Amino acid sequence: MGLELYLDLLSQPCRAVYIFAKKNGIPFELRTVELIKGQHLSDAFAQVNPVKRVPVLKDGDFTLTESVAILLYLARKYKVPDHWYPQDLQARARVDEYLAWQHTTLRRNCLRTLWHKVMFSLFLGEPVSPEVLAATLAELDVTLQILEDKFLQNKAFLAGPHISLADLVAITELMHPVGAGCQIFEGRPKLAAWRQRVEAAVGVVLFQEAHEMIFKVKELPPPDPSVKEKLMPRVLVMIQ
């Protein structure tokens, strides 16, 4: 059995893994796990990942979870171009720095923005309060400023002159609020120019393909009531 990737492109970590594998010509079998249908909560999927989360990589008898671990595994096994995860110690440390920072900061805030602007209405039939949404967007704005000032600075990409795993993870995170209708690049010309460079480096066609679902997130049908009941406790833990 060859490489298998269990993904749902509604998920930011899954999009990062998908783009990386496709861009680098890594052959894999796509195993779609539809989160909105609760397929990740099934007993069958629990045999793949007992934590019941995507993405998951299966390489023969080897199973790996967590998107950053999967990206690093693919980068090392398939000997992708050095710029993705540089051999230079300090350049690699810059990539590691962003990957360590993003989990509880940019990723969390982008996910909360998506849920507070779109997904709560889909799941509960009514939006969050204007006060809650305003607080979420304010927190996202602070994090975007850190992304610019701390990580991007005046460089072409987050870790240096070439695209890396840091950029790929960051851009897929930022597409959550974009899909929710937030104009997060307005008034941020430096960040907007970086986005254009990342899309060009990835390839516009692949970028659009990977993000098609998130760009149409407002058109998703409401989930089945039984799925809502199972999903909401997990969602609340992620975005609290």
CATH classification of the domain holding 29: 3.40.30.10
CATH classification of the domain holding 143: 1.20.1050.10
In this predicted structure, what is the pLDDT of residue 238?
Answer: 66
- Name the residue with higher pLDDT: 239 or 139: 139
Q: Which amino acid is at 193?
A: A
In this structure, the answer to whether residues 67 and 119 fall within a common structural domain is no
| pTM for the whole structure | 0.95
pLDDT digits (tens, 9 = 90+) for 183-216: 999 999 999 999 999 999 999 999 999 999 999 9
Q: Is the dihedral of CA 219, 224, 228, 234 positive or negative?
A: negative
Centre a 10 Å sphere on the Cβ of residue 27 and count the other Cβ atoms it contains.
8
In this structure, the answer to whether residues 99 and 198 fall within a common structural domain is yes
In this structure, the answer to whether residues 134 and 115 fall within a common structural domain is yes
What order of strands is seen across the sheet that includes strand 3-7?
29-32, 3-7, 56-59, 62-65
In this structure, the answer to whether residues 115 and 218 fall within a common structural domain is yes
Q: Which of 81, 99, 121 is the last residue of a domain?
A: 81
In this structure, the answer to whether residues 67 and 98 fall within a common structural domain is no
User: Is the pLDDT reported for residue 240 higher than 70?
Assistant: no
User: Is the pLDDT reported for residue 239 higher than 70?
Assistant: no
d(CA 25, CA 136): 38
Residues of the chain with pLDDT > 90, as a percent, come to 85
Q: Which of 18, 50, 81 is the last residue of a domain?
A: 81
Q: Which of 81, 99, 115 is the last residue of a domain?
A: 81
In this predicted structure, what is the pLDDT of residue 122?
Answer: 82
Backbone angles phi, psi at 52, to 5 degrees: 65, 50
In this structure, the answer to whether residues 177 and 88 fall within a common structural domain is yes
Q: Which of 1, 122, 135, 21 is nearest to 67 (CA)?
A: 21
Q: Are 140 and 117 in contact (CB under 8 A)?
A: no
Residues 195/100/28/54 CA torsion (nearest 10 deg): -100
* Count of the separate structural domains present in the chain: 2
Mean pLDDT score of the chain: 94
Q: Which helix or strand (DSSP H or E) is residue 84 part of?
A: none
3-state helix/strand/coil string of 95-164: HHHHHHHHHHCHHHHHHHHHHHHHHHHHHHCCCCCHHHHHHHHHHHHHHHHHHHHHHHCCCCECCECCCC
In this structure, the answer to whether residues 75 and 88 fall within a common structural domain is no
In this structure, the answer to whether residues 112 and 143 fall within a common structural domain is yes
In this structure, the answer to whether residues 101 and 75 fall within a common structural domain is no
pLDDT digits (tens, 9 = 90+) for 219-233: 988 888 777 777 777
Residue 70 structural domain: 3-81
In this structure, the answer to whether residues 70 and 105 fall within a common structural domain is no
In this structure, the answer to whether residues 73 and 93 fall within a common structural domain is no
d(CA 26, CA 150): 32
In this predicted structure, what is the pLDDT of residue 237?
Answer: 67
In this structure, the answer to whether residues 125 and 212 fall within a common structural domain is yes
Residue with tokens 């934590």: 51
